[in-house]
Amino acid sequence: MAVLDDLSGFEFEDLMEDVFRNLGYENVRQAERTADEGRDVLMEEVVDGTRRAIVVECKHTGTVGRPVVQKLHSAIATFDFGGPKRGIVVTTGRFTGPAEEYADRLQQNDDPYPIELIDGEDLREIADEIGLDLYNGRIEILCDETLRPYDPATDVDAPVQEAFRDIENIEATDIPRPHSQVTFRPVVAITADADAVFETSVGVIHRIDDRTGFVVHAERGHPQVADDTVATLVTENLHATVDLDVDQFGATFDDVEERRFGQTQTEYKEWAVERLQDYHTTTVTYTGDNNVTYEKTCEPNRSDISVQSIEPVFLPQVRQTTDLEEYTYSYEYYAAGPSRVTEEDGIHRCVHCETSGVDETYTYCPNCGAIACDSHSKTERLEGEPVCTGCAVTERFALKTKYFYDEQNLEAFREEYADMPIHEKAMENKWLASGSVVATLLLLIGLLVIGGII
């Protein structure tokens, strides 16, 4: 109980909000602060199809007596809810005998407002079951579930082999095994409801009734909303998570890293509420009773926004690098089994210019290992194979630049060229040869015209 004792009263109340949300209760939120600066937790549950409200009293004290339980019973009775209600008193300490007897009597007498007691020992057992750890007076999310870092039906290198299939002059099966690194990055999927009505003397001028879902990158630092493609990858695969077993994945990947969640669940919730407040704030123009046009900024209150769920999970970020001769090609993506979102594609990128993207044509140069676009890929004259402009040795023959793997190939072609008949030499520049033929024909026609023959 030493760690629980290190928590402040507010931190303990934050902890309980996280605990109850992880236990599956709905619409978990903290009520307004009371006179003693405590913050009760309000939430709901559905039992046999009936929704019931629960009022929770949090006591960060060594001993809780009967008066606290009685006071909560009265608070439940006056709590405004159109259905059955019950209460919970939770403490880091213990309950006195009279407090336990009072709660037991409510249960035995089928009181309409029964109260459950949770002491410090019960609380630690619950926290262990739902994966919440306490450290330095804070509540860290401990999550052991991850999206799949690769498709178990294929090899871990399959995404790289698939990417190389678009590259000309190299077979994907000939690609050497890439170095594979996976980083398990924490994210949280948040679902929240916003429900607010804005009225003036003329009636309702604006209404908000919206359910919003988004995914947040949850490492240390300020939370960052994931883009739509990553969010879709996460939400569509939350049902297919696996245990994050670093040793197991270490047998598949060359390097494995696991990042930690940077905030508590309550901090993520408060951040989400503030973000949704800003998102739903709008300025409305309306006409008053006096036919005068007014503008009103409609900003929902914090109480108008209810976080329904916060689901932590790890999102694998895989980085695979492939060495080909003088070059290294990286391919990085977020993975969820057979699905992935590409973050960096260094395969579909010319090493000599800014050309990139899967819509372009790229050719592999076996001489240096370069992947080059059409503008930087030529045909090697002596062997007729592709060579990139970055490594090729060049020389002009018949006024046309020829490309060679190296000086030896160039020298071999010089000797071959020297032995060629004049017409074969001319064909080394087909445009020049064609132009010469056309020029000769034009000259012949001119002479025939001058001579009066035609």
pLDDT tens, 232-272? 999 999 999 999 998 899 999 999 999 988 777 778 888 89
How many other C-beta atoms are found inside a 10 Å radius of the C-beta of residue 374? 13
Most confident of 189-193, 267-271, 419-423, 438-442: 189-193
For residues 45 and 84, give the distance between their C-alpha atoms in angstroms, rounded to a whole number. Answer: 10
347, 371 Cβ separation under 8 angstroms: yes
pTM (2 decimals)? 0.69
pLDDT above 70 as % of the chain: 89
- Residue 65 pLDDT > 50: yes
Give the three-class secondary structure for 160: helix
388, 352 Cβ separation under 8 angstroms: yes
- Residue 137 pLDDT > 80: no
Structure tokens given for 15: 């902890």
Q: Could you tell me which of 205, 202, 204, 228 has the C-alpha nearest to residue 215?
A: 228
SS (H, E, C) 291-355: CCEEEEEECCCHHHEEEEEEEEEEEEEEEEEEEECCEEEEEEEEEECCEEEEEEECCCECCCCCC
4, 137 Cβ separation under 8 angstroms: no
Q: Which residue has the higher pLDDT, 231 or 127?
A: 231
- Residue 444 pLDDT > 90: no
Structure tokens given for 81: 């809810």
Q: Which long-range contacts (CB under 8 A, 24 or more apart) does 242-247 make?
A: 242/145, 242/146, 242/147, 242/148, 243/144, 243/145, 243/146, 244/143, 244/144, 244/145, 244/146, 244/184, 244/314
pLDDT tens track for 70-83: 999 999 999 999 99
Question: Worst-scoring range by mean pLDDT, 269-273, 365-369, 422-426?
Answer: 422-426
Cβ neighbours of residue 251 closer than 8 Å, sequence gap 6 or more: none
Predicted confidence at residue 13, as pLDDT, reads: 82
Predicted confidence at residue 351, as pLDDT, reads: 97
Give bridge partners of residue 168 from the DSSP assignment.
363
Cβ neighbours of residue 117 closer than 8 Å, sequence gap 6 or more: 69, 88, 89, 90, 95, 99, 100, 103
* CA 7 to chain CA mean position, Å: 32
- Residue 38 pLDDT > 50: no
Q: Integer distance in angstroms from the first to the last C-alpha of the chain? A: 114
Mean pLDDT of 310-317: 94
53, 78 Cβ separation under 8 angstroms: no
- Residue 3 pLDDT > 60: no
